[in-house]
Structure 1
């Protein structure tokens, strides 16, 4: 599992989008029990923090010490530095496993084997994420040119799973049908820039060339976006139970 986010963990916590409350409500309604959840690849703990509102205990893991250092703190969340594919959790521990904007970095086969080991027989696994946002047509044009042409060569291969909206990831579970969700914001131009600078391909570009590629589009982007505008993130959401 790659760690692309330790070096900018505080920015990640500040600028990354969250998930809509209706998604958590839908998830809660599908659960048999709410004793213990595992948020795998928790990052800044945003999902763990929401799960803690309706679970007795939440175990949250990540491979980044810096991410965990900046994570949401609640009394019923226990963080630990662990990979996704091998943990110290007991068999049949969890009513729910969540993976948010992280599963594309995992070894699918090993993670699913571990997930099936620690998930209770009636437990649920939820794979959550978001793909490229939409905003004004003029801004979308600038962003897509940036995404594909300027930093396109610097994306990790695993990024394609997000571009494919998680439809092509392995998912060896009985799938539960889910509604479509999206998350809308009014973002300032400064917030948009902060978010773009958390992209892994931006960091790869900067490391290789010594130049922040966001600066290459900043003026054009400001003209297209303005000082504030609407941002819409399509939410990716797959839900499953054990196959017998």
Structure 2
């Protein structure tokens, strides 16, 4: 997927949130704590972008104040949380004209085995009341996500491109993934434990041994466009 996106931009000077294929990459997060855990790379510069930061400050931090200088903007599993009008305004200022591309993607399902998939479907139904309404974009596969950009052939507004992302995942990795869910946190604040020891034991029962690493397929979707 990274290679496909890199192939869409005629220049490879600066990307916001993608590595390997560009001379410079800027990774950003609203959480300073999250950035402490970011993987270090000689081409990547990480910046803290709290909600209070202005659009002009973002342009300065990402592109040194140079508008229309970013080749590629990507957002993985997060754009549904954004203030979309504000974010898209910033993207229009930053993207190179012509040639700049924005791509957003996410996933809302994981396929492992029939027993596991059925259990996780039931678990998801219990989590739904605790999700923020903004997450509805995610559960609808970004089909209803506003995306006012010209298609580049990798999904467009109302018609995301379907993707399958294959990964190896340990049981501990799975638990970490489940515990990171906003619904789990919200439920806990309300006195509901969605990942009790009983639930974890049930999940492990359909996963297999606690040290077992399994092949999983994330059902993902992407929208990509240009100005």
Q: Do these two structures clear the TM 0.5 threshold for a shared fold by scoring above it? A: yes
* Aligned: 1:36 with 2:36: no
Unaligned runs of 5+ in 2: 155-160
Q: 2:135 aligns with which of 159, 179, 204?
A: 159
Moved over 4 A (4+): none
Q: What is the DSSP-based 3-state SS (H/G/I as helix, E as strand, rest coil) of the residue aligned with 1:97?
A: strand
Question: Using the alignment, how far apart are the partners of 2:74 and 2:186 within structure 1?
Answer: 27
Q: Where does structure 1 lack aligned partners over 5 or more consecutive residues?
A: 1-22, 40-47
Partner SS state of residue 71, structure 1:
coil
Task: Report the alpha carbon displacement of residue 195 of structure 1 after superposing the two structures with TM.
Answer: 1.7
Residue 88 (structure 2) aligns with: 112
Distance in 2, matches of 1:76 and 1:230, equals 30
The counterpart of 2:71, out of the listed 95, 100, 115, is 95
Normalising by structure 2, we get a TM-score of 0.84
- After superposition, give the CA deviation of every residue in 1:64-100 in whole Å (9 maximum; x if it has no partner): 0011111111222121111587213331120111111
In structure 1, what is the equivalent of residue 109 of structure 2? 132
SS of structure 2 residue aligned to 1:88: helix
Tell me how far apart the structure 2 counterparts of residues 191 and 111 of structure 1 sit (CA, whole Å). 31
For residues 169 and 35 of structure 2, the distance between their equivalents in structure 1, rounded to whole angstroms, comes to 26
Contact residue 59 and residue 94 of structure 2 kept, 8 A: no
Greater mean alpha carbon deviation, residues 173-182 or residues 109-118: 173-182
| Residue 71 (structure 1) aligned with residue 38 (structure 2) | yes
Q: CA deviation at 1:110?
A: 1.2
C-alpha RMSD of matched pairs (Å): 1.9
Equivalent residue for 2:158? Answer: none
Q: C-alpha displacement at 1:219, in angstroms?
A: 2.3
Deviation at 1:145, TM superposition (A): 1.0
TM-score (norm 1): 0.79
Find the residue that maps to 2:183 and give its secondary structure: helix
Q: Provide the rounded CA distance (Å) in 1 between the counterparts of 2:170 and 2:24.
A: 36
Aligned twin of 1:208: 190
Count of aligned pairs: 208
Question: CA separation of 1:82/1:235 partners in 2, compared to 1, >3 Å: closer, same or farther?
Answer: same
Partner of 1:13: none
